[in-house]
Structure 1
């Protein structure tokens, strides 16, 4: 999404904009995550109660030097790990892959993943977990014949280099893509989608976000906001601002089908 000083036309029926706003302040300390020894700092920004898409959770996690987020198999959800700071090894189906700031790892159903911190600083990452189509079918009561999902090859992107990453061909659920938007001080842009919620994480910088109803939120590093579908939110940068944005498709209204 490029800087744009011109507001888009209002969308009929648009809501106020902010579904959730949070920072990593007050993150919980959890021990033995996914069976691994040691501690993990963890914060959940939004879950299925707040979101209209078939998204399980929007979260942040951090492990200290030598820490591990244990290996585990995904049987019902698709998940991204987006490394924010630090360096580590993304463990995928038993094999380690080096990752650092900007590394975006996609894990589809049927695969085993985990994360190990191999640096001398904390390893922080953004986590978004969404329901696989098979899981959504079961929860909705649709006819579904379960099978054994295949294990695949690792899918890791350098988001800071690629700028925009589509999950097509890897994910089948609501998480459609991830992108980076960077604004210089004084720049502004408008965020919103008619058919998707947006999860937005501030990687660096400071600024403001203002929703259609006038509600505003201060943006600073490690702030996460989720924006409802059919809304428009204006973002202004007070300093160079880097936003990480995930698109989460929402179900179509019956009248639109």
Structure 2
């Protein structure tokens, strides 16, 4: 199956998980089409925007950073993130991410249920 970018669903979420600003979503696939894949999406955070700290239960989330720069809370430790970096939050883990740069922070987000 190939889905063209123009056919992908988009969504804007404000103050996601208690964060600041907006998060722009482009869904690679609907979340009900792939077994154990709760989310397959590209997220874009404008400068200053963030996703608030939250926990994952019975699932693992992967962030694959594509462009921009930011700070990620990785289970209580803040770390810079750059293009090419990957963040993995396992079952029971908590995280957040903030765009600290001057251009959008863009990353793929994949959530796999256990």
TM-score (ref. length: structure 2): 0.89
Kept in 1: contact 2:46–2:104 (CA 8 A) = yes
Q: Work out which of the residue numbers 97, 106, 111 in structure 1 matches 2:79.
A: 97
Greater than 4 Å deviation, 4+ residue runs: none
In the alignment, the residues of structure 1 paired with residue 61 and residue 14 of structure 2 have an alpha-carbon distance, to the nearest angstrom, of 21
Q: Work out which of the residue numbers 72, 75, 87 in structure 1 matches 2:57.
A: 75
In the alignment, the residues of structure 2 paired with residue 71 and residue 50 of structure 1 have an alpha-carbon distance, to the nearest angstrom, of 27
- CA shift, 1:26, in A, is 6.7
Kept in 1: contact 2:21–2:48 (CA 8 A) = no
The match for 1:41 is 24
The structure with higher relative contact order (CA 8 Å, sep 6+) is 2
Cα distance, 1:33–1:99 mapped onto 2, change above 3 Å: same
In the alignment, the residues of structure 2 paired with residue 34 and residue 48 of structure 1 have an alpha-carbon distance, to the nearest angstrom, of 19
Kept in 2: contact 1:80–1:106 (CA 8 A) = yes
Unaligned runs of 5+ in 2: none
Unaligned runs of 5+ in 1: 1-17, 133-257
The match for 1:225 is none
Kept in 1: contact 2:75–2:93 (CA 8 A) = yes
In the alignment, the residues of structure 2 paired with residue 37 and residue 89 of structure 1 have an alpha-carbon distance, to the nearest angstrom, of 14
Root-mean-square deviation (Å): 1.8
> Hey, which of these two has a bigger chunk of strand by percent?
2
Alignment deviations for residues 200-256 of structure 1 (CA, whole Å, 9 cap, x no partner): xxxxxxxxxxxxxxxxxxxxxxxxxxxxxxxxxxxxxxxxxxxxxxxxxxxxxxxxx
The match for 1:50 is 33
Q: How many residues are matched?
A: 113
The match for 1:224 is none
The match for 1:88 is 70
TM-score (ref. length: structure 1): 0.41
Larger radius of gyration: 1
